[in-house]
């Protein structure tokens, strides 16, 4: 139908040209509708509009889902990123906190959202990968549309500064001799998962002591109610700097400056296999199946924000960690996390609350 209409228009133009030549160049109007619009041009215009229907994206608010409670570490990162992403995209970013099951509730909900670019998710994939390995997840990490890595935070063992434990070797010796109390923000926490894996490899016996949130878990250590804890290095850096906690070992690919210069890495204590592996990452994702142009716009905006000078300055002022990664690196992180936790499935099944 479209080819026929364009053909008719072309034939008409030829006839008109011949008539004009015969009449000494007299102008003759092109056949048009009552509103002055040529049929063929109107159809061509409507085709272009349909083909580029997403070219005005975004044109309304975007929801950023955070799988943790308001006021927590994840929420703080979301509120650091959101205003900068608003500037990049020209629309408002509305943060919605969806708690439950260590982030699994939010992760599952995102998969059910329309793939239109108006819902994104700030996710911590490490613990989610552990649940997926155990078959306790209503999602597959590799299904999400990856937008970028926000940071890589090393899982870090710590004790109270008043503890007799001065070094990692001291903790291992105590944990081999008797059962220690492991203070954690919950049995679904990725740092608890990572801590259980390392403790198992080092022969540390422990009983988990879950608390409502990281603040209570850290307070428990400071008071001496529990023996050790595991959190991301940036989460405890302030407590270390304040003289409340002593960091014993960190498992990042590189040492974390926020912890100072004297906190060993896994390689320094014979656990190099965990460096850069047992981390807690924050990433931004969207539902699967985004239109290619929408995905490109979103990913470009995320990368511009995370690699920008403004977020680096704010992160430095607030002791936050920004270590941006590409969408491709995000996908690789998902796969690496799944492979890592699959190696420790027995340990996960023993300790992880599913």
Confidence of residue 186 (pLDDT cuts 50, 70, 90): confident
Q: Are residues 76 and 146 in the same domain?
A: yes
Q: Are residues 302 and 204 in the same domain?
A: no
Within a domain: 99: yes
Within a domain: 24: no
Domain boundary among 274, 305, 333: 274
Within a domain: 352: no
Within a domain: 198: yes
Instruction: Say whether pLDDT at 50 is over 50.
Output: no
pLDDT in tens, 106-118: 999 999 999 999 9
Give CA–CA dist 155/295, Å, rounded.
31
Helices marked H in 23-124 — which ranges? 39-51, 73-89, 104-111
Within a domain: 51: no
Confidence (pTM): 0.79
Give CA–CA dist 111/159, Å, rounded.
39
Location of structure tokens 């552990």: 130
Q: Highest mean pLDDT range out of 97-106, 138-147, 310-319?
A: 138-147
Give CA–CA dist 76/314, Å, rounded.
12
Domain boundary among 237, 257, 274: 274
For residue 55, the model assigns a pLDDT of 65
Instruction: Say whether pLDDT at 24 is over 90.
Output: no
Q: Are residues 69 and 119 in the same domain?
A: yes
Q: Are residues 265 and 284 in the same domain?
A: no
Q: Are residues 140 and 180 in the same domain?
A: no
Q: Are residues 160 and 269 in the same domain?
A: yes
Within a domain: 45: no
Instruction: Say whether pLDDT at 213 is over 60.
Output: yes
Domain range spanning residue 203? 155-274
**The pair of three-digit structure tokens given for residue 208, joined into one six-digit string:** 């988990």
Mean pLDDT calculated for residue range 36-46:
42
Domain boundary among 274, 294, 320: 274
Mean of all residue pLDDT scores within the chain: 86
Residue among 116, 66, 61, 60 nearest 96 (CA):
66
Within a domain: 130: yes
Q: Are residues 104 and 200 in the same domain?
A: no
Q: Are residues 248 and 105 in the same domain?
A: no
Q: Are residues 175 and 259 in the same domain?
A: yes
For residue 25, the model assigns a pLDDT of 39
pLDDT in tens, 128-178: 999 999 999 999 999 999 999 999 999 999 999 999 999 999 999 999 999
- 141 neighbors 337 (Cβ within 8 angstroms): yes
Give CA–CA dist 158/246, Å, rounded.
5
Domain holding 255: CATH number?
A: 3.40.190.10
For residue 352, the model assigns a pLDDT of 79
Q: List, as one string, the DSSP characters of 289-315.
A: T--HHHHHHHHHHHHHHHTSHHHHHHH
Domain holding 112: CATH number?
A: 3.40.190.150
Within a domain: 56: no
Minimum mean pLDDT among 159-168, 197-206, 312-321: which range? 312-321
Q: Are residues 192 and 301 in the same domain?
A: no
Confidence of residue 98 (pLDDT cuts 50, 70, 90): very high
Domain count, the chain: 2
Q: Are residues 146 and 160 in the same domain?
A: no
Residue among 52, 13, 55 nearest 30 (CA):
13
Confidence of residue 12 (pLDDT cuts 50, 70, 90): very low
Greater confidence, 256 or 42?
256
pLDDT in tens, 232-278: 999 899 999 999 999 999 999 999 999 999 999 999 999 999 998 89
Q: Are residues 106 and 211 in the same domain?
A: no
């Amino acid at each position: 139908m479209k080819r026929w209409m364009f053909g008719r228009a072309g034939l008409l133009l030829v006839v008109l040209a011949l008539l004009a030549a015969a009449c000494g160049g007299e102008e003759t109007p092109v056949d048009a509708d009552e509103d002055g619009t040529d049929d063929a041009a109107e159809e061509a215009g409507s085709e272009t509009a349909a083909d580029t229907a997403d070219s005005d994206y975004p044109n309304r608010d975007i929801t950023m889902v955070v799988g943790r409670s308001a006021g927590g570490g994840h929420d703080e990162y979301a509120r650091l990123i959101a205003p900068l992403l608003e500037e990049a995209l020209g629309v408002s970013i509305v943060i919605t906190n969806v708690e439950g099951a260590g982030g699994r509730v939010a992760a599952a909900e995102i998969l059910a959202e329309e793939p239109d670019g108006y819902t994104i998710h700030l996710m911590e994939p490490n613990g989610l990968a552990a649940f997926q390995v155990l078959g306790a997840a209503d999602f597959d990490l590799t299904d999400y549309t990856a937008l970028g890595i926000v940071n890589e935070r090393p899982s870090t063992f710590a004790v109270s500064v008043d503890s007799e434990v001065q070094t990692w070797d001291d903790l291992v010796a105590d944990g081999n001799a008797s059962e220690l109390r492991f203070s954690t923000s919950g049995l679904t926490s990725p740092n608890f998962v990572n801590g259980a894996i390392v403790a198992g490899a080092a022969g540390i016996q422990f009983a988990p002591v879950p608390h409502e949130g990281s603040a209570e878990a850290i307070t428990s250590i400071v008071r001496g109610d529990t023996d050790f804890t595991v959190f991301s290095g940036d989460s405890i850096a302030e407590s270390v700097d304040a003289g409340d906690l002593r960091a014993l070992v960190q498992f990042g690919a590189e040492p974390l400056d926020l912890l100072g210069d004297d906190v060993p890495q896994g390689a320094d204590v014979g656990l190099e296999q965990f460096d850069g592996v047992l981390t807690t990452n924050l990433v931004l994702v969207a539902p699967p199946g985004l239109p290619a142009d929408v995905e490109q716009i979103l990913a470009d905006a995320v990368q511009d924000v995370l690699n920008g000078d403004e977020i680096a300055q704010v992160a430095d002022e607030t002791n936050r960690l920004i270590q941006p990664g590409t969408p491709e690196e995000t996908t690789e992180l998902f796969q690496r996390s799944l492979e890592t936790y699959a190696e420790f499935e027995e340990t996960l099944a023993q300790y992880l609350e599913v």
